[in-house]
Copies of this chain bind each other. A is one copy, B any other.
Amino acid sequence: MKQFTSVNDVEDISQLVAAALALKESPYAHQDLGKNKTLGLVFLNPSLRTRLSTQKAALNLGMNVMVMNMDKEGWALETQDGVVMNGTTVEHIREAAAVMGQYCDVLGLRSFPKLISRDEDYNEDFFNKFIQYCGVPVVSLESATRHPLQSLADLVTIKETWKGTTKPKVVLAWAPHIKALPQAVPNSFSEWMCRAQAEGMLDFTIVQPKGYELNEDFTPGAHISHNIDEALKDADYIYVKNWSSYKEYGKVLTYPEGWMLTNERLKVTNDAKVMHCLPVRRDLELSSEVLDGPNSLVIQEAGNRLWAAQAVLKDVLESL
């Protein structure tokens, strides 16, 4: 791979999942691959799982890692062309990206959406310019509209845990939150699940209150529902996640009661495993009884972030 920003950058998702699970068995088998290679991790927003798992993945491969919190250690970047920079931005992304590319063999980048202009966020202007100007492979650590390292780890977790003989039913279920959150995680999860569904690996449903439908570009072939009771029926995996509205962009809309997953709700499922990308707000997005119960996969899923990142970095290193 020359870049990893969405499922579309991956030729064979089954092979990538298999590579991640193989690395989980033999974490240090490819340390020569990263020798004298440097990964720069550039954060414009906070990170816990993504930073630590990607850093550890690179170390496992023998790479050096340099972490740059641009929001804390650096300064504001300009992304628009043709503006006189007499305001608050100190450096243009054209220079900043190109310079980071001078010191790093691979760059990871995290940049959240502003949730103000839908066009601006969904253009992925910042990400695309960074890729254009830095001149080295870029791995997304979450962009305005996608979080593919998370989605790969999710698919790895489903693959690792599914012991059934038929295709599992996977449900992405909207959950309540008090803040307006990006659509990056659900977009990306949907994109990966739709691809897996198209390849016959699973059956995929999205359920959300009216007004919370995702951008259809990310949901080709998904079963779309607004009825939480029906959608969860016979589910094998429930992926719980809040997101703000795409239609009324970035808004938190009113919704009927009953969208927080509880043990009671699990009864209609096929003893479904419960997933969440974390961080999760307990008893708001997801009940403590489910999180602390036997159906929760959230810690195993977070652990698999490491192997997903390592599989991606290994592939990128092999293409250098």
Contacts and interface: CB of A to CB of B under 8 A. Distances in A.
B102 A302 contact: yes
A56 B99 CA distance: 13
Contacts of A74: 46-48
Interface string A29-71: 0000000101010010011110111011001100010101110
Contact of A299 (B27, B102, B279, B302): B102
A237 B117 CA distance: 43
The interface residues of chain A, by DSSP majority, are classed as mixed
B178 A86 contact: yes
Interface residues of A, number: 62
A90 interface: yes
A282 B92 contact: yes
- How many copies of this chain? 3
A114 interface: no
A284 B78 CA distance: 13
Nearest to A292: B94
20 contacts: A43-B73, A46-B74, A48-B68, A48-B70, A48-B91, A51-B73, A52-B100, A52-B103, A53-B103, A69-B73, A83-B283, A84-B284, A86-B178, A86-B284, A91-B279, A94-B291, A95-B291, A99-B299, A102-B299, A103-B306
Interface of A: 27-28, 36, 38, 40, 43, 46-49, 51-53, 55-56, 59-60, 64, 66, 68-70, 72-75, 78, 81-86, 90-92, 94-96, 98-100, 102-104, 178, 278-284, 288, 291-292, 298-299, 302-303, 305-306
